[in-house]
Structure 1
């Protein structure tokens, strides 16, 4: 994905698993270039439920953001990653990217 298209900056705290005290997250990665679309849409979460995603984040193909990760959007709102899709097309002249649907 060309960097000039990624106009927003987000912070990603990758989900690291559950502990006795609740979910655990990796250290925050700040100032991640992204394109944020805050149009609501229905998506299928990692556990199979159909849920309403309130934002979709498009970022570089190397973004590490498993479902359950905490994301702070450019407007300051904190949300959770519901589903993550890596789009690649080796050998074709189209940009690769990572799409994260957020609750």
Structure 2
């Protein structure tokens, strides 16, 4: 069972991270209108290398939403943020919704 669409009240835009060029990070074409639930809480998290970093936005979305680490996300308020970590939450056989949690700078 996926997270119900009626819980995903916000719309975000994602520009997937493609790598680094001579001019800085490169991003793919923006994907707009992605349904999500956005929370703004300041908390310490660990990035892919295990270092502690500060997260200022957390996003809940459909389980198939897996932007690459480093992707740029535009939040509903217009603020741009970078993906730190993506976690898939599944519970096969249990009556709880599957979702993806994206932690952003």
Paired residues of 1:14 and 1:64 also in contact (CA < 8 A): no
Of 29-38 and 13-22, deviating more is 13-22
The two structures have a TM-score, normalised by structure 1, of 0.93
Following TM superposition, the consecutive aligned residue runs of length 4 or more in structure 1 with deviations greater than 4 angstroms are: none
Unaligned segments of structure 2, at least 5 residues: none
One of 98, 101, 104 as aligned partner of 1:102:
104
CA distance in 1, matches of 2:69, 2:80: 14
Aligned-partner SS, 2:44: strand
One of 39, 42, 55 as aligned partner of 1:40:
42
Aligned Cα root-mean-square deviation (Å): 1.0
CA distance in 2, matches of 1:19, 1:48: 25
CA distance in 2, matches of 1:102, 1:3: 22
1:21 positional shift = 2.8
